[in-house]
Structure formats: C-alpha cells, structure tokens
Amino acid sequence: MNARFDYIGNDNGAKFIKRIGNAGLVVDGSTLPKPTQELVKLRASQINGCGFCTDMHSKDALHAGETQVRLNLVAAWREATVFTEAERAALALTEEGTRLADAHHGVSDDTWAQVEKHYDADQIAALISLIALINTYNRINVIAGTPAGSYEPGQWS
C-alpha cells in the first residue's frame, strides 16, 4: 500500500510536522509518566483508525519496556486489571477527548474528577496537550493514507 499523499515530503507538510513536533517536546519534558503517554497515544490512534500511529506507538511502548499484555488490552482497558487508576483516568480522558463528536457531552465531570485526583496541574496540561497532539497526527496520517507496518522504534527521534 502506498500513501495517497506524501505529507512530509511536501514543504508545507514538513514545516507543519516540524512545528507540532516541537510542541510535543513540551509534553515529552513534562512529569506526565512516559508509560501513560504511550498508552494515551496508542488509544487515541486506535479510536481514530490510524494504522501508522497505532503501529508506531505500540512498537515504541514495547521498546520502552511496556508489556505485551498491557498493549494487547489498551482497547479493552475498562475490563482489564492491568492498568492503574491514574492510567484509567488518562485513558478515559483520551477516549472522551478523542470522541468529541460522538460523546455529545465532551468530557464528563466524573472523568475530569478522576483526572484531577491523579494528576497535578502541569500533568493535566501535558495530558490535554498530548491528546490534542496525537489526534492531529492521527488525522494527518489517516487523511494522507500513510501505510502502517514498517515503523522501527526510534525512527522519528
């Protein structure tokens, strides 16, 4: 399968990716736990049907020490016993923040209360930023038809 459009091969696309990549450095440098960051990126990518990002973030998470069991259960996190309460709050926020048009209520008060219970203000800002960022990447890759399967961990580092 070939991409329908070479987004990063285009000058404007490459400039945009560089800018949002720089924005992502803020999240990378935050105290939001790295495993949580990978779970959030993976879950949003699954919801959005972004094969490229699902491939990338599952491989990056595994490479960083995440277990295969937890990665296998991200899509079914509500029924899984392998995630912490803090991770569950982050995954709930990810789902509700990604499914804005589907949820009709945006982020629920219950989810927000759980997020505030487990994360400080800087981590919440990082979490919101990360959800916005991964949704942006997902949309770029889905629209451009970026194929999945060939990503190698650290390829874009």
User: Does position 101 have pLDDT exceeding 90, yes or no?
Assistant: no
Question: pLDDT over 90 for what percent of the chain?
Answer: 92
Opening angle at CA 29, ends 27 and 34, nearest 5: 70
Sign, CA torsion 43/49/54/56: negative
CATH topology of domain 11-144: AhpD-like (1.20.1290)
pLDDT tens figures, 34-81: 999 999 999 999 999 999 999 999 999 999 999 999 999 999 999 999
Q: What are the Cα distances from residue 26, in Å, to 46, 122, 140, 156?
A: 23, 11, 20, 16
